[in-house]
Amino acid sequence: MTLRVAMIGYGFMGAAHSVGWRQAPRMFALPDDVEMAVVVGRNAEAVAEAAAKWGWQESATDWREVVARDDIDIVDIVTPGDSHAEIAIAALEAGKHVLCEKPLANTVAEAEAMADAASRAASRGVRSMVGFTYRRVPAVTFLRDLIAQGAVGRIAQVRAAYRQDWLVDPEMPLAWRLQKEHAGSGALGDIGAHIIDMTQFVTGLSVDAVSGVVDTIVTQRPLQGSGENRSLSLSKGGTAAEGYGEVTVDDIAIFTGRLESGALVSFEASRFATGRKNDLSIEVSGDKGALRFDLEDLNSLWFYDRTAPEATQGFTRILVTEAQHPYVSAWWPAGHMLGYEHGFSHQVVDLVTAIAEGTDPHPSFEEGLSVQRVLAAVEDSSARDAAWVRVAAGISSPTR
């Protein structure tokens, strides 16, 4: 069987997903063949250039026409969040398998509608998955496996952070990621969603309640292409100056979460962490040991075994490049490192395998919805002066 893929969107994530679709069939023994059929974007010339550059057979400008085509089996959505729900629901109702970039949607209501559509489609054998790709970094998957095997024992605490610095310069132009109507939220939804999902993934535990604050550090930014018309007025709380637009999302989110087990998690998502380019880290501490991962050293996992003799206790580096480690056997000999792009190939492997086996892939839209509910609870908590908010009910709750 051959699965023909249509990708909607062609920005940064479009490039990354294209690498995944192109490389996975060449490096892994997939149960079905895959064809990169068509990439869709609003600018005909630009999307045609993307198709030629990334290896898509053709380009198009109307996603609705593409979704309705009989020769399309999978729809891969890499557009801004404001269009995820409409495209995904239409594709699922048309009988297409769907891969949707994270966060699943811009609101809980949209995510609920998407999860409902996915559930209905699953009863007809149509599969859906959210693109939380960092789950598929071999070291992260292995970390999850070690925790499931009891390596850290009872989890007592988790520390999760995702830090970037691309907005430190106040003259960085006003991109779509800084506009609530397109992005839903800022650092919280864009990179905070990753650490929420990763925490729930590696621990196997849901975030039950949150308390935190979100903030916008630079509230006005230059409009793209405004050139000499830009004003240098960036007064906090004022109206947008000439050549400037309002930033309507957060730049930083710092919050505490309590897992369903009672364990506490510290979360930090920031685009103002000066010097940090793409620093995603997680550390899980338990009564038997601890595990630590850092994306800037993505082939490594650090393990502290508290059951070892005291004289030899200490964090030990595990190089996650052996053939028995998750996904690694399809790639290079031990010690030959993998990179950021490999997670997108692993994403394709898992989705295509699930489709062939008739099983629901993970993370599901329901799992994407669970992250969306945490995001909403954090925003709610911030609006209530960091009051504790239960995720499921969305109501204030005293600290425990």
Residue 378 lies in a domain: yes
User: Is 162 found in the same domain as 94?
Assistant: no
Whole-number pLDDT of residue 241? 60
Instruction: Report residue 392's pLDDT band, with 50, 70 and 90 as the boundaries.
Output: confident
The 10s digit of each residue's pLDDT in 306-341 is 999 999 999 999 999 999 999 999 999 999 999 999
User: Where residue 55 sits, what CATH number does that domain have?
Assistant: 3.40.50.720
Task: Tell me, yes or no, whether 394 lies in a domain.
Answer: no
The pLDDT tens digits for 140-153 are 999 999 999 999 99
Both 177 and 311 in one domain: the answer is yes
* Same domain as 152, residue 53: no
In a domain, 15, yes or no: yes
* Residue 28: DSSP 8-state: S
Tokens representing 48 are: 């045609």
AA letter at 119: S
Give the CA diameter of the chain. Answer: 67
What predicted TM-score, i.e. pTM, was given to this entire model? 0.93
| 34 half-sphere exposure, CB direction, 13 A CA radius | 32
| 149 within domain boundaries | yes
User: Which H or E run contains 293?
Assistant: strand 289-294
If asked whether residues 121 and 202 sit together in one domain, one would say no
Match 């290079």 to its residue by tokens.
332
**Domain final position from 133, 152, 176:** 133
Q: Whole-angstrom Cα distance, residue 2 to residue 94?
A: 18
The amino acid sitting at 62 is D
* Shared-domain flag, residues 89 and 156: no
239: which residues sit within 8 A by CB, 6+ positions away? Answer: none
Q: Is the peptide bond before 222 cis (omega within 30 degrees of 0)?
A: no
Q: Which of 133, 153, 174 is the endpoint of a domain?
A: 133
Of how many residues is the chain composed? 400
Do residue 123 and residue 180 come from a single domain? no
Query: Same structural domain for residues 128 and 177?
Result: no
Enclosing domain of residue 179: 135-362+372-383
Q: How far apart are CA 64 and CA 99, in angstroms?
A: 16
Whether 267 contacts 163, CB under 8 Å = no
Q: Tokens at residue 190, please?
A: 């864009």
pLDDT for 395 equals: 52
Q: Residue 37, SS3?
A: strand
Q: Is 110 helix (H, G, I), strand (E, B) or coil?
A: helix
pLDDT for 227: 42
pLDDT, one tens digit per residue, over 62-115 is 999 999 999 999 999 999 999 999 999 999 999 999 999 999 999 999 999 999
Say if residue 374's pLDDT is above 70.
yes
Distance of CA 328 to the CA centre of its chain: 21
Contact 280, 290 (CB under 8 A): no
The confidence score (pLDDT) of residue 229 equals 36
388 in any annotated domain: no
Predicted pLDDT at 394: 52
For the stretch 3-57, pLDDT in tens is 999 999 999 999 999 999 999 999 999 999 999 999 999 999 999 999 999 999 9
